Structure 1
């Protein structure tokens, strides 16, 4: 009867191709406007005292994560190995949606951050980076006599 000229997973291939093309044209995000589709996924917020950043990087050794802050630009980089394509497993891979390989995210931070007030913690696959703001830029109450 009816026979398709395309493989059964043509829509999955089209979806993958669209993601790859979109990632190729994505502009690096800044703290005021985050792009979608990058790895690792980020949540960024701020308080009057700090900028709080959460990067979702499950399955990584914390020693393989590089965090750098230079001239108001924060860089998160690292590498995640591909466990399915290792030579020992000899597995036939049917679907592999988990990102593997080198990654790098670059963010422009506000001018009032303090480069000496940065802390980073990795727990349960989430990297939490807290960057203190300069004390001179924090709001303060001025008493009126």
Structure 2
């Protein structure tokens, strides 16, 4: 399989169209995630003390991110600006042959367990990764009970 940069190759264009249609209807993850509806890619895990969410959003300005926790639902939203040139020479729009980087507004929504503390959420952005830590309430954390 190959991909031509120019639309003159009919078979390459049909192959590209078939892959795009298959990706649009396929809900199984690939090496690139779930597609545009799945940006940013996330990892979610938990420890006895907290729920950890990692959102992979390289090249994003942290000031454009909005993170909300409301009634047990975590919402991550924002916008990634396009890095493509708006205008080329002589005021003409440049021709883009391949554009695989997501640009535009995005929203990811996750349901959180009941035992988390929404008032103690912390988020930090470093090296293109947003780390969101949602601690569990003290009453929900495991504790050792001594026997007398």
Query: TM-score, normalization: structure 1?
Result: 0.81
Query: Which of 102, 124, 130 pairs up with 1:127?
Result: 130
TM-aligned CA deviation for residue 11 of structure 1: 2.0
- Matched residues in 2 for 1:98 and 1:18: separation? 19
Q: Which residue of 1 aligns with 2:3?
A: none
* SS of residue paired to 1:129: strand
Within 5 Å, give how 1:22-101 maps onto structure 2: 22=26, 37=34, 38-87=38-87, 90-101=93-104
TM-aligned CA deviation for residue 8 of structure 1: 1.9
Q: Which residue of 2 aligns with 1:20?
A: 24
- Matched residues in 2 for 1:52 and 1:112: separation? 14
- Matched residues in 2 for 1:91 and 1:7: separation? 25
Query: TM-score, normalization: structure 2?
Result: 0.80
Encode CA deviations 1:41-83: one digit per residue, 9 max, x unaligned.
0011100000000000011110001100000000001111111
Encode CA deviations 1:97-135: one digit per residue, 9 max, x unaligned.
111111100000001010011000011110000000010
- Matched residues in 1 for 2:26 and 2:65: separation? 25
- Greater mean alpha carbon deviation, residues 53-62 or residues 9-18: 9-18
- Matched residues in 2 for 1:129 and 1:22: separation? 29
Q: 1:94 to 1:66 in 2, by over 3 A?
A: same
- Matched residues in 1 for 2:88 and 2:136: separation? 48
> How many residue pairs are counted as aligned between the two chains?
131
* SS of residue paired to 1:9: helix
Query: Which of 102, 109, 112 pairs up with 2:112?
Result: 109
Gaps of 5+ in 1: 27-35
- Matched residues in 1 for 2:67 and 2:26: separation? 25
Query: Hey, which of these two has a bigger chunk of helix by percent?
Result: 2
